[in-house]
Amino acid sequence: MTGPIGADSWMDVAAYAVVGIPALVASLGALRVAKKASAKQEAIGQDVSVVREHVANTHESNLRADVDKLLVGMVEVNRAVGRIGDEVRDERAANASDRREMWAHIRRQDRIADKHHPDEP
């Protein structure tokens, strides 16, 4: 064995190259993937910071609690709108009944007028 790596001939050096070069290429590939992953994690971290600023800033209440209160309020608004719709429907029905009654009175008055005043238009 001669030299620091223990290679006795060029064939030994070639054997070390055959074993070492793929390992070197794999290591460089892994390093490249790790750098890309690190850059992506940094970008995601910045995005999370922006989201955190909007969600958990100086408010005294939690965002989820605020959303739950809004949902309860929306249910109450939907109920109120439903009641208003029911009232409008009832008013329309009452108005339709009043209109029918009014037109019945007008026809009756026209018949009376035609009976007692046949020559007048």
pLDDT in tens, 13-60: 888 888 888 888 999 999 889 888 888 887 777 777 777 666 665 667
What is the three-class DSSP state of 118?
coil
Q: Verify that 72 and 106 share a domain, yes or no.
A: yes
Domain match, 65 and 108 both: yes
Residues 96 and 41 grouped into a single domain:
no
Yes or no: say if 7 and 16 are a contact pair by the CB < 8 Å rule: yes
In this structure, are 72 and 108 located in the same domain?
Answer: yes
User: What's the domain count of the chain?
Assistant: 2
Question: What local confidence, expressed as pLDDT, does residue 1 receive?
Answer: 47
Count CB neighbours of 7 within 10 A. 15
pLDDT of residue 59: 67
pTM, entire model: 0.38
Q: Are 24 and 18 in contact (CB under 8 A)?
A: no
Burial tier of 12 (Cβ tally within 10 Å: 0-12, 13-18, 19+): middle
Q: Above 90 in pLDDT, residue 85?
A: yes
Structure-model confidence comparison of residues 106 and 7, the more confident one:
106
Q: Rg (Cα) of the chain, in Å, rounded?
A: 45
Same domain, 7 and 37: yes
Residue range of the domain that includes 38: 1-58
In this structure, what are the phi and psi dihedrals at residue 61, rounded to the nearest 5 degrees? -110, 155
How high is the pLDDT of residue 81?
94
* 41 plus 86 within the same structural domain: no
Residues 117 and 72 grouped into a single domain = yes
Task: Say whether both 49 and 34 belong to one domain.
Answer: yes
Q: How many other β-carbons are positioned within 10 Å of the β-carbon of residue 72? A: 10
Q: Are residues 85 and 97 in the same domain?
A: yes
Amino acid 74: pLDDT = 94
Structure tokens at 9: 């001939």
Largest CA distance in the chain: 143
**pLDDT class of 2 with cuts at 50, 70, 90:** low
